[in-house]
Amino acid sequence: MSDIKELLHVGISVYNMKESLEWYEKNFGFKLLKEDGFVEPLGATICFMEKDGFEIELFEYKEPKELPEIRRHPNSDLTEVGTKHMAFRVDDMDAVKEKLASNGVEIVHEAGMGGDKVAFIRDCNGILIELIQKKA
């Protein structure tokens, strides 16, 4: 039996590919890795971005469905079954929040959890992303 290996990527449906590519590069340092263009069987345009060996796969459909309101808020989103968010470790939460705020990114929720600093933001599509500064 084979072992399951490392996580390869996370897939995210987006409203606008160009805007999303720019947002993830500007705010998180992801770089465009591969453009698959329009993939007929899926009916979507697909791009892959990469940072530090981790990839995100972006899908843009011609007529995307709206992100439900419950998915826009961390505490309510967690009550619905399904994948919830990506989480990134940060070394200096205050510096990261300052950078994101200067780029117009909204901090939607902050908390302390077991000594860790936690903040949730939304990407340009409204998708929640968690930031965690581990307790020193």
- pLDDT (tens place) for every residue of the chain, 136 residues total: 578 888 889 999 999 999 999 999 999 999 999 999 999 999 999 999 999 999 999 999 999 999 888 888 888 888 888 888 999 999 999 999 999 999 999 999 998 888 999 999 999 999 999 999 999 7
Q: Where in the chain is the domain with CATH 3.10.180.10?
A: 9-61, 69-133
Q: Per residue in 56-83, pLDDT tens?
A: 999 999 999 998 888 888 888 888 888 8
Candidates 85, 83, 81; CA nearest to 108 is: 85
CATH topology of domain 69-133: 2,3-Dihydroxybiphenyl 1,2-Dioxygenase; domain 1 (3.10.180)
CATH of domain 9-61: 3.10.180.10
**pTM as predicted:** 0.90
In sequence order, what are the residues at sequence separation of 6 or more whose Cβ sits closer than 8 angstroms to the Cβ of residue 114?
Answer: 135
Name residue 123's amino acid. Answer: D
* pLDDT score of 1: 58
CA 112 – CA 54 distance, rounded (Å): 26
